Amino acid sequence: MRLIELIDRDATAIGGDTRITGITADSRAVRPGMLFAAVPGTVRDGRDFIPEAVAAGAVAVLAPTGTVVPAGVALVETPEVRGALARMASRFYPKRPGVIAAVTGTNGKSSVVSFTRQIWVRLGLAAASLGTLGYDGPGDLAAPGLTTVDPVALHRLLDQAARAGVGHLAMEASSHGLDQHRLDGIAPVAVAFTNLTHDHLDYHGTIEAYRDAKLKLFAEIAAPAGYAVINADSSHYDHFVRAALKRPLAVIDYGRKARVLRLVSVEPMTGGGLHVAIEYRGQRHEFGLGLTGSFQAHNVLAAMGLAIGCGASPEAVVAALPYLKAVPGRMEQVGTSAAGAPVLVDYAHTPDALETVLKAVRPHAHDRVVTVFGCGGDRDRTKRPAMGKIALREADHAIVTDDNPRSEDPAAIRAEILAAGPGLVEIGDRAAAIDAAIAGLGAGDVLVIAGKGHETGQKIGDRVLPFDDREVARAALHAHGGTVIGGGAA
Ligand SMILES: CC(=O)N[C@H]1[C@@H](OP(=O)(O)OP(=O)(O)OC[C@H]2O[C@@H](n3ccc(=O)[nH]c3=O)[C@H](O)[C@@H]2O)O[C@H](CO)[C@@H](O)[C@@H]1O[C@H](C)C(=O)N[C@@H](C)C(=O)N[C@H](CCC(=O)O)C(=O)O
Ligand SMILES: Nc1ncnc2c1ncn2[C@@H]1O[C@H](COP(=O)(O)OP(=O)(O)OP(=O)(O)O)[C@@H](O)[C@H]1O
Ligand SMILES: N[C@H](CCC[C@H](N)C(=O)O)C(=O)O
Ligand SMILES: [Mg+2]
């Protein structure tokens, strides 16, 4: 493809006829004939790597206005490199599923995109989801590790998904991704907002800046005249509705306070699952869900709103809901202790998520709610004492352990959690913490192992050691005479 075909209409290029064989923002990935996007980043400045990229064969550079490049190299100058890069990537990889839905919010995104995909599949559509759990859908496509991947990888994936026959795709829009223009040029037909609570303040600085990043999905990214699915029970509801109406997007609000998709009641059923009553535009529907935790009703309604916004009939969507399967590592029961206590693995890694899941299991505990949790390193430190306080308040027995320490000292992370107050038990080694919790479970207890969910590695320093809470918990259940659900042959 020629450079001129890739750039924005109002942009100018020196060397517009140059043939481009690929695009990357990483000098280490440059191959001969590629365009290198020099992104001023959060840690490094991509402009410093232009000589390296050119030496590796880059024939064109996309860079901030005023950048000088070696003679003979084509140049596109732009005031905002990340957005321009995303739009170029969308032209380089032109195919994408005809219907894209995107979800933002502090918690629930992975759950909502999975439920949306499952609803579509039940309706007979070729559907996929993309996010923290990677790509799930037709074609054997691999997604890099982030919740919202970089724009080049994203557009390559969307192109591959479309070529694999995917017509409907639900994707997660993280606040980092929105802030860094990873989604520019996607134009989802329907967008959803789940909730906004404490997370990532290390990156965004304030809750208002964090909200503004999420609002971008509604104010800028969504396709004009699309649908906005908004949680009416969030205290940030008005901001999202205002942004949607400005575009304008048609609003489908959901939740207990909603007008369009109203949650009437959600009750845990004896023997597991939930019974849910809703009203969609005044029409009542009741259905069962094979999911644990009443908060799941909100995620299911968000998925329902997206499916309806993308053209499905409400009746067909309701009929699909009883078939929804739990998302891996989200309230996933991995077994039962010798004394009969359920053991759940969950991905709660924010204060609100931890509070939500501990409250959600309370009705199932005739005796104690027990939890094992930690906090990730190189992430918002202010979450740590907040999560400690919640564990003290909502659990009867809480063990503080390591999550992914990354570059930080694990003991120092634990100390910041333990500062919440006396009563928390410290066991740094995560496997030992899980084992101790399971060994100590009595009849009537419920254990929630929180924070790592589906993850299969523990990031310590620069290394990723194999670690899966579900496998570790199953091994402990075996060792202590419990029974396991799922997993390998062990
Ligand atoms: C803090 C952050 O979000 N960083 C992301 C960001 O990096 P950056 O652009 O700021 O990169 P940088 O390290 O400053 O480098 C600047 C530029 O120099 C380039 N470079 C650098 C070195 C070199 O040798 N050559 C070279 O060309 C880099 O490729 C980059 O283009 O953009 C990169 C490309 O999109 C991301 O891979 C990277 O994610 C890092 C790995 C990360 O850990 N991100 C996390 C925090 C994240 O994004 N999480 C969200 C939220 C999850 C949630 O919902 O809770 C997610 O979407 O997963
Ligand atoms: N609607 C909700 N409200 C509050 N907490 C929730 C909700 N849905 C899920 N959670 C909690 O948040 C955890 C993460 O859920 P999920 O993976 O769906 O969220 P996410 O937004 O994709 O997270 P991430 O930011 O890591 O991508 C769950 O394991 C559960 O503890
Ligand atoms: N998307 C989240 C995941 C956190 C998972 C938790 N296990 C941790 O490592 O903090 C983040 O990158 O902040
Ligand atoms: Mg996610």
Q: What Rg value do the Cα atoms of the chain yield, rounded?
A: 24
Report the separation in Å between the CA atom of 376 and the middle of ligand 3, taken as the mean of its atom positions.
6
Atom 10 of ligand 3: nearest residue by CA position: 376
Q: Which atom of ligand 2 is nearest to the CA of 107?
A: 21
Q: What CA–CA distances, in Å, run from 257 to 146, 195, 234, 261, 278?
A: 33, 14, 9, 9, 12
Ion ligand 4 contact residues with beta carbon within 5 A: 109-110, 131-132, 147
Placement of tokens 């997370």 in the chain: 199
* Inter-axis angle of helices 430-439 and 469-479, nearest 10: 40
Q: Which atom of ligand 1 is nearest to the CA of 37?
A: 31
Q: Which atom of ligand 2 is nearest to the CA of 329?
A: 29
CB of 273 within 8 A of CB of 288? yes
- The pLDDT assigned to 487 comes to 86
Domains belonging to the chain, first-starting first, are 3-85 (3.40.1390.10), 99-323 (3.40.1190.10), 332-480 (3.90.190.20)
Measured between alpha carbons, how far is 321 from 301 in angstroms, rounded to an integer?
10
247 appears as a binding residue in the annotation: no
Report the separation in Å between the CA atom of 132 and the middle of ligand 3, taken as the mean of its atom positions.
10
Residue in 149, 349, 470 to alter for ligand 3 test, most ligand atoms within 8 A of Cβ: 349
Nearest to 272 by CA among 370, 355, 367, 344: 344
CB of 261 within 8 A of CB of 305? yes
Residues enclosing ligand 2, CB less than 6 A? 105, 107-111, 132, 147, 172, 194-195, 295, 298-299, 330, 346-348, 352-353, 356-357, 453
Report the separation in Å between the CA atom of 174 and the middle of ligand 2, taken as the mean of its atom positions.
12
- The pLDDT assigned to 110 comes to 98
State which H helix or E strand residue 158 sits in: helix 151-163
Establish whether residue 349 lines the binding site of ligand 3, counting it when its CB lies within 6 angstroms of any ligand atom.
yes
Pairing state between β 342-346 and 446-450: parallel
Pairing state between β 332-336 and 483-484: antiparallel
Report the separation in Å between the CA atom of 187 and the middle of ligand 4, taken as the mean of its atom positions.
20
Nearest to 445 by CA among 380, 373, 362: 362
Establish whether residue 452 lines the binding site of ligand 3, counting it when its CB lies within 6 angstroms of any ligand atom.
yes
Establish whether residue 28 lines the binding site of ligand 1, counting it when its CB lies within 6 angstroms of any ligand atom.
yes
Quick one: how far is CA 89 from the chain centroid? 22
Q: What CA–CA distances, in Å, run from 292 to 61, 109, 358?
A: 50, 17, 12
Measured between alpha carbons, how far is 406 from 378 in angstroms, rounded to an integer?
6
Give the number of C-alpha atoms closer than 13 A to the C-alpha of residue 444, restricted to the C-beta side: 4
Report the separation in Å between the CA atom of 352 and the middle of ligand 4, taken as the mean of its atom positions.
15
Phi and psi, residue 487, nearest 5°: 85, -175
Establish whether residue 226 lines the binding site of ligand 1, counting it when its CB lies within 6 angstroms of any ligand atom.
no
10-residue averages of pLDDT along the chain (490 residues): 93 93 98 98 97 98 96 96 96 97 98 98 98 96 92 97 98 97 96 94 94 97 97 98 97 98 94 93 97 96 98 98 97 96 97 97 95 97 97 98 98 98 97 98 97 98 98 98 82
Measured between alpha carbons, how far is 469 from 487 in angstroms, rounded to an integer?
11
110 appears as a binding residue in the annotation: yes
Torsion of CA 49, 53, 56, 60, to 10 degrees: -170
- The pLDDT assigned to 270 comes to 79
182 appears as a binding residue in the annotation: yes
Q: Which two tokens stand for residue 132?
A: 């923290």
Q: Which ligand is nearest to the CA of 174?
A: 1
Q: If you count them, how many residues does the chain have?
A: 490
